[in-house]
Amino acid sequence: MTVKTLQDLLAEGVEGRGVLVRSDLNVPLDNGVITDPGRIIASVPTIKALVEAGAKVVLTAHLGRPKGEPDPALSLAPVAERLAHELGRNVQLAGDVVGQDALARSEGLTDGDVLLLENIRFDPRETSKDDAARGKLARALVELVGDDGAFVSDGFGVVHRKQASVYDVAELLPHYAGTLVAAEVEVLRKLTSETERPYAVVLGGSKVSDKLAVIEALAPKVDTLVIGGGMCFTFLAAQGLPVGSSLLQEEMIETCRGLLDRYADVIHLPRDIVVADEFAADAESKVVSANEIPEGWMGLDIGPDSADRFGALLTEARTVFWNGPMGVFEFEKFADGTRKVAESIVQATEKGAFTVVGGGDSAAAVRTLGLPEDGFSHISTGGGASLEYLEGKELPGIAVLEG
C-alpha cells in the first residue's frame, strides 16, 4: 500500500496534536439499541493507539441516512456510549457537527481525550456533489484539530464515497491509513492478485443488480461462483423455471440468461428451495425442488441439498469470498442455508484456506448465528467498498491517500 500508515504517524509523534479520524461507526439500531457492535469494536485499535500516544482525537462518523439534516433517531449518542465502554475511557459527544459545541469541545481537549462529532451526515455538505460545498465542510473539520493536525482514514465502509470527511479532508491535512483501512486493502489485494486455487465466491442478498458488476468481474477469474439469497430467483427464472411470488427482478432475466450461457461451468444455483406461504418468521414452510416452486409461495432460503452441495465445493476451496446471505437468516426457520454455507467456509479456513466475509449482512449473519469470528481469515467492515474494489473500481477514499 503506497500510503503512509498509522504507524508512520505515531513514529512522527502525535502527543499534544489534534488528529481527525474518520471511523465507520454505522451500526444497526433497534429502538436506539445497538444490535451488532462489530464496526465499533473494529474501530478501537486505531483510536486506542492514538489515545495512548497522547493525541487529541476528534472522530467523525455517520449513522444511517439522515438526508442532510438532524434526526434524533440517528444521533450517535448510543455509539458514543458503546465506544466509551470499548475504549475504557470517556468519549465526549458534540451536540453538532462543526458548530459552536464541536468547536468549544475541541478547543478544550487535553492529551488523550476523545471527541465524537455528531452524525456527519446531519450536514448536507458531507455528501454534496459540489466540490466547493464539501471543501467548506472539510475546512471546518480541519479547524477542529488545528494547523498541526493530521487525518487518519479508518472508515473502510465509506472509502468508496467521495465525501467531505473521507476525501476532501485528506487534501487539506497530512493523511494516513488507519489500521483497519490498511488491513482491508491488503486483504482485497490478496483476493485479486495472490489467490490460491480453487477460488470460490459466494454471493447472496436480494438483488442481482446490486451484484451484477462483481459477477461480471469475478466469473472469468474464479473456479466456483455460488449464488443464493433472493437474487437466485432471477437466475432460476432465466432458466425458465417458475419462482412463485419469490423476489424477482424481471428486467434482469435476460442479463442472467447471458451470464448462465457464458459461465455455465462456474455458476452454481440452488437445486432445492425452502418456500413459505408468506414473509414471516412463523410462516408455513416446506422444501421443494427448484423447478417446483408453487404459485403464491416464496423462496426464503436455499434447501438442505443445495446447502450440502455448496458446502462440498467450499470446503475444498483454497480461497473464498462470501458476500450476501443464502436466505432470510433473521428468521430462524430460514437460517439453515446461511448457517451451513458459513460453517463450510469455517471448515475451509481450518484446512488452511484464505477466507473473507465481505461485510454487510454476511458479517451480521456470522454474529447473529453465533458463528466463530475467528473461523474466517477476515471479516470486512465494508460490504459496498469490498464489492467495488473487486469490481476493479477506483475507491476515492483510498486514491486520495496515495496522493
Mean pLDDT of 98-102: 97
By CB neighbour count within 10 A (0-12 exposed, 13-18 middle, 19+ buried), where does 19 fall?
buried
Cα–Cα distance measured from residue 336 to residue 327, given in angstroms and rounded to the nearest whole number: 8
Residue 134 has phi, psi (to 5 degrees) of: -60, -40
Give yes or no for residue 1 having a pLDDT over 60. Answer: no
* Residue of 48, 89, 190, 207 marked catalytic: 207
> Is 207 annotated in the active site?
yes
Task: Answer whether the bond into residue 198 is a cis peptide, omega within 30°.
Answer: yes
Cα–Cα distance measured from residue 72 to residue 58, given in angstroms and rounded to the nearest whole number: 21
Whether 131 has a binding-site annotation, put simply, is: no
For residue range 174-221, list pLDDT tens digits in order. 999 999 999 998 998 899 887 999 999 999 988 889 899 999 999 999
Whether 17 has a binding-site annotation, put simply, is: no
Cα–Cα distance measured from residue 383 to residue 388, given in angstroms and rounded to the nearest whole number: 9
Query: 288-325 burial by CB neighbour count: b if 16+ within 10 A, else e?
Result: bebeebeeebbbbbbbeebbebbbebbbbbbbbbbbbb
Whether 22 has a binding-site annotation, put simply, is: no
Residue 18 has phi, psi (to 5 degrees) of: -85, 135
Locate cell 468549544: which residue?
104
What pLDDT was estimated at residue 230?
Answer: 95
Whether 282 has a binding-site annotation, put simply, is: no
Cα–Cα distance measured from residue 146 to residue 258, given in angstroms and rounded to the nearest whole number: 55
* Residue of 4, 22, 39, 105 marked catalytic: 39
Listing from the earlier edge strand, what are the strands of the sheet with 378-379? 267-268, 224-227, 199-203, 319-323, 354-357, 378-379
For residue range 351-379, list pLDDT tens digits in order. 999 999 987 789 889 989 999 999 999 99
Whether 62 has a binding-site annotation, put simply, is: yes
* Residue of 303, 360, 375, 383 marked catalytic: 360
For residue range 274-314, list pLDDT tens digits in order. 999 999 999 999 999 999 999 999 999 999 999 999 999 99
Whether 39 has a binding-site annotation, put simply, is: yes
Helix (H, G, I), strand (E, B) or coil at 322: strand
Whether 64 has a binding-site annotation, put simply, is: yes
> Is 178 annotated in the active site?
no
> Is 39 annotated in the active site?
yes
The angle, 0 to 180 degrees and rounded to 10, between the axes of the packed helices 336-350 and 304-315 is 20
For residue range 379-402, list pLDDT tens digits in order. 988 888 888 988 889 999 999 999
Which segments of 69-223 are extended strands (E)? Answer: 92-93, 114-116, 150-154, 175-177, 199-203
